[in-house]
Amino acid sequence: MAQANDEQLLSNMFDVGVERLKLIGNHAKVLMQGYLSGGIDASALSEQALKKLINARIIYQPDDSHELKLRHPVVQLVAAMVTDESRRQVNADIADKLQSIRGFVQGFREAQRSGDVIRADNQLQRTEEAVYDLTSQFEEAIFSLWHRLNSNFGFVSNLSDKIRENSRAQEQIRRLIEGLSLIDFDELIELAEGNPALRKLLVTKLQTQINGHHGSLLEVQKRLVELMTRFREQQERSLLVTNMAGFLREHPGFTVGDYAYRSQVPSLVNVAAAIKPAAAVALDRRDQHADIAHIVHGLYKELAIKAKTDDADSNTQAVDNSAQQQAVEARQQQLKHDAMQYFMAACDSKTPLSALDYLHQQTLEWPPEAWLFQVIGEYNSLPRNEQKLFSIERSEHPVSRYNQVIVIEDIALRFTP
């Protein structure tokens, strides 16, 4: 019984669709003229045809004071087919379409649980149509955006109109990106619930198409930036030519002079660096050979003196570096020796020996921070069995209440055999 009702419903829908499409085709010229002029001439239609078009919701009359007009869906259909971007409106209501997809998937699950195969196939087909409608809305919107860039955006006369067109395009891109962000693939994976057909439809195919739409939007943004940059360059040239033409109209006797012969050159022209004249030795003139030989010998002497000076400087620098390195190594060895003496003193002491107290008692000249660092390094470098012979106590505190970096103030070493 349910199958018979569905078949009857589809048959009735088919007949109504064919009848109304045929009705549009039969009166295509009148409807298209009404689309272009904004109103339909009732005298061009018979009373019967006019009644059929009104009942089919193709045309309507707002009130008695207005003429007949095309309904908005028909206007949008014609605008989409003839790519009339000035009158076409792309409405990407993504939330509503996603809600429809959820309802169709739920109906598909219910039909599967009840064993109604025909209803399940019908619901799956409607889900596929809803997904196609969802992606086609984005495709139409992006196509509309491309058409706007190649028509309205490219043929405006001034910068303010260009900026307005750019703002409109950017706003449409923002809305499309927000619409794309509403598609949650985690939710769609849960809706599929392991069904291969649903998973292919809601996840695999849809994700591929959405990725393509993201790439198209990126290309649109690149195109916007490119067109805006090109327009600014053209506007700069046009402004230069316009101002020059205005100057010539005000000064009809103006002639461009040769700036090379002027004593006072305008600052705008005099921006190039001075030209240094090139010189070369004339080897073919025999009367200058003696002078050339004298100059060459002088150059050789200067190069030799410079080479000796450089060698002496490098040797002196090498000696200074070597002496400085030896001094540093000797100081490091002395610091290491003093640290070992501190460890030996800790062995003789019966109480923990403070590192800073030992530094002051021995009147060592090491900075306290470097001294503590060396003591800790010497302790860590001892073998494991020797480290067990000493117990090291650190006197430390955090830098502040909000900074947990620990500052070591002193170290006490105790020998524990």
pTM (global) more than 0.85: no
159: confidence class by pLDDT, cuts 50, 70, 90 = low
Q: For residue 3, what pLDDT is reported? A: 55
Q: What amino acid occupies position 390?
A: F
Q: How many CA atoms, within 13 angstroms, populate the side-chain half-sphere of residue 223?
A: 18
How confident is the model over 221-248, as pLDDT tens digits?
888 788 778 777 777 888 888 888 888 8
Q: Is the predicted pLDDT of residue 92 greater than 60, yes or no?
A: no
Q: What is the mean pLDDT of residues 127-144?
A: 78
93: confidence class by pLDDT, cuts 50, 70, 90 = low
Report the mean per-residue pLDDT for the chain. 78
CB 220 within 8 A of CB 169: yes
Please tell me the distance from the alpha carbon of residue 207 to that of residue 220, in angstroms, as a whole number.
Answer: 20
CB 110 within 8 A of CB 70: no
How confident is the model over 308-366, as pLDDT tens digits?
777 666 666 665 677 778 777 888 888 888 888 888 888 877 788 888 888 888 888 88
Please tell me the distance from the alpha carbon of residue 412 to that of residue 395, in angstroms, as a whole number.
Answer: 8
Domain spans in the chain, listed from the N-terminal domain onward = 8-70, 83-246, 349-415
Q: Is the predicted pLDDT of residue 6 greater than 60, yes or no?
A: no
Q: Is the predicted pLDDT of residue 90 greater than 60, yes or no?
A: no
Neighbour count for residue 59 (Cβ, 10 Å): 22
